[in-house]
A and B are shown apart, each in its own frame.
Chain A
Amino acid sequence: MVTPSEFRKGLKVVMDGQPYVIVEYQFVKPGKGVAFTRTRFKNLITGNVIDVNVRSGEKLALANTEEVEMSFLYKDGDQYTFMNNETYEQIQLDKDDLGDAIKYLTENMVVQVLLYNGKPIGIDVPNFVTLEVTHCEPGIKGDTATGATKPATLSTGATVLVPLFVEQGDWIKVDTRTHTYLERIKK
């Protein structure tokens, strides 16, 4: 059990029988009034985000979650299959379970599969991935300073904003948490 004074980002808890992760929280205490913790929770199964005021001293159960390293094998329709590299156990996840991670998933990528009460409910892809630009408007040489951007489509289908000098066929490094371009990679 945890109380709001022990909240931190990323902590996984159970509310109304559903697993949530704490996205943001803030201690609030107006004047000489009653303190509470304004908290943003993300449902680990549906991805829905809710804002809840949690009472000081209120106890929340910790979610029985576990992260296991697995490789992405293949997709069949909306079913995605992953394999535990140590036990060779295979699991399936539905497209809807994968959320934004799906935009960066490539074959054989090593991901963290999140288990809730032993059952897979979602994945985390690496924070940084390197992907090929499969489509964008032609580049402008030497333009590195203006900060202007254009959309680029990556080999996995994700779209990110990139600087004007990036060309089709370039490989770029992307932060999967913020969906932002980091740098161009020489291949």
Chain B
Amino acid sequence: MCDHWNAFQAARRQGLRLYPARCTRTHLVEEIRIDPPGTPSGAQRIVLAGRVTAVGDSGFRLADASGSVWLQVPRQGNGATPGPEGLTVPAPIAAQGVDTSAGEDGPDMLAPETLLPLLVPGDVVQAEVEVPGEPWWVRRLGMLAKARRPAPWLLSTPTQGGPGGGATLDTLVHRAQILRAIRSFFDTNGFLEVETPIMARHPGMEPHIDLFESRYRPDPTLPGTPVFLLSSPEYAMKRLVAAGVERVYQVSRVFRNGELGPFHNPEFTLLEWYRAFASFVEIQADLERLVQFIADRLRLGGAIRWQGHTVSLASPWPRITVREAVSEATGLDLASLGDDQDLVPACRRIGVDVPSNATWDEAFSRLLADRVEPTLGLERPVFLMDYPARLAALAKVRHDSYPVAERFELYVAGMEVANAYTELNDPDVQRERFLQERAMRRRMGAPAFDFDPDYLETLESGLPPCGGIALGVDRLIMLLLDLPDVRKAMAFPFSASTG
């Protein structure tokens, strides 16, 4: 076997057609295995096509979508001569008599022993074969696409990466199965699947989510006006709830700038669903049943096994308030740490690495990430709920022992998977929060936008009480399939080195 580039050069010197227009495949490998020739339904002329996965002295392995087979090549004996670079170069094609059985636009079908020395793993070929029994013999062989460079992922085992350093083919099959299960769950529970714009003029205002900005222009020579790739389709979803869709869901691609790491990709798949005349309590029940439903479809045996953790999915999943979780992990009482001046020194005192000039949000994020999250959802998935009111975002605030937001996040094996609210429907409070968020964005030096007038108008016209949730589909897939990195759940993860 010679290297890819030399084999390509040799094939080109031969004047072989390396990229013919047409392929004349008649069968898949498995079709022939099921219905071998000689049987009443068996085929007469068999042309297989696929990728070469291994090459030996007496044949090669061909793989197609159905499976793979070793194809035996008859011994060489028709005037072949040893060529440069250790290649055995077949006699000129004219002398071989090119078989045009594959048609004018098809590949040059050659005696297989003349093409075998030029074959490397990765080549895409078609082969006319005879199947007298085992092994299968090649009668004629033609090149459909020459591999001039190796593609290691083609031969990937489940532990290797896919074409873009991401998912393997096996993972993509399971990913599709999970997406089907999600749709099946919501369709049978009376939810309407919708698609709403992911490009909008008025994006979400969350201070700590950076957006991708683009421009709409009526003509390529004009500067145009800014538009944004959304980080969540939530406004449009709630406008549909207000319009009368009481149960609605969407699987959409969303974008968050700068978020790149083992558990983040700047472009990812988000599942959102909303229930009218309900709160985050009903959403918790939906979520519990959804994950159990998917796990059953995947035959996971009632548990998620991820990177050494075994997390039982048996109901009921525990609920813990943020105040309880922080207190258990660190002894701090959030109810009395509502200001920057209180929380930052308290965090530093217990050894959380946070700068003394940190904001409350920053201190809370590090406290949560460093001390609390690693303890959550290790035995069963956990609903972390009742966030301090200042982290309400689009959630309603309830007055408990201290003001808390009706918001929860689901944690599995220390990993956040979903974020849900009892949706805020008071337009005055919403306007107030928009103003606060915009002011905060300005203070942070982040771009501040106009808030969405359509969304506020929707609230002013009356949004029924509802619960809603956003779930990171790639992270869920990562957990369900025991992948170490969220980028192993996607076919082509983003690479920072390209930009």
Residues of A within 8 A of B (CB): 5, 26-36, 38, 51-53, 55-56
Contact = CB atoms under 8 A, between A and B. Distances in A.
B258 A30 contact: no
B264 A29 contact: yes
Given A31-B416, A52-B353, A53-B370, A36 B365 contact: yes
Given A29-B259, A32-B419, A36-B362, 16 more contacts: A26-B261, A27-B261, A27-B263, A27-B264, A30-B369, A31-B391, A31-B416, A31-B419, A32-B206, A33-B368, A34-B362, A35-B208, A35-B259, A36-B369, A51-B353, A53-B353
A30 B373 contact: yes
Interface in B349-387: 353-355, 359, 361-362, 364-366, 368-370, 373
Contact of A28 (B206, B209, B261, B393): B261
Contacts of B409: 31
B133 interface: no
24 contacts: A26-B262, A27-B259, A27-B260, A28-B261, A29-B208, A29-B261, A29-B264, A29-B369, A30-B373, A30-B416, A31-B391, A31-B416, A32-B206, A32-B391, A33-B365, A33-B368, A34-B361, A34-B362, A35-B208, A35-B365, A36-B365, A53-B353, A53-B354, A53-B370
B443 to A, nearest CB: 13
A38 B353 CA distance: 10
Contacts of B393: 32
A35 B258 contact: yes
Contacts of B366: 34, 36, 53
A122 B343 CA distance: 41
Contacts, number: 67
B496 interface: yes
A55 B416 contact: no
Contacts of A26: 261-262
A56 B365 CA distance: 13
A5 B258 contact: yes
A98 to B, nearest CB: 30
A31 B410 CA distance: 10
B355 A55 contact: yes
Contacts of A31: 368, 391, 409, 416, 419
A31 B364 CA distance: 11
Contacts of B355: 55
B491 to A, nearest CB: 21
Interface string B254-294: 00001111111000000000000000000000000000000
Contacts of B264: 27, 29
Nearest to B204: A32
Nearest to B206: A32
Interface in B413-448: 416, 419
Contacts of A28: 261, 369
A183 B498 CA distance: 37
A1 B18 CA distance: 50
Nearest to B361: A34
Nearest to B353: A53
A38 B366 CA distance: 10
A35 B207 CA distance: 11
Nearest to B362: A34
Contacts of B359: 34
Which of B209, B369, B393 has the most chain A CB atoms closer than 10 A to its own CB?
A: B369
A6 to B, nearest CB: 9
Nearest to B261: A27
Which of B208, B364, B393, B409 has the most chain A CB atoms closer than 10 A to its own CB?
A: B208
Contacts of A36: 362, 365-366, 369
A186 B281 CA distance: 69
Contacts of A32: 206, 208-209, 391, 393, 419
Nearest to B360: A34
A170 B450 CA distance: 74
Contacts of A5: 258, 260, 496
A14 B263 CA distance: 28
Contacts of A52: 353
Given A5-B496, A53-B353, A53-B354, A34 B365 contact: yes
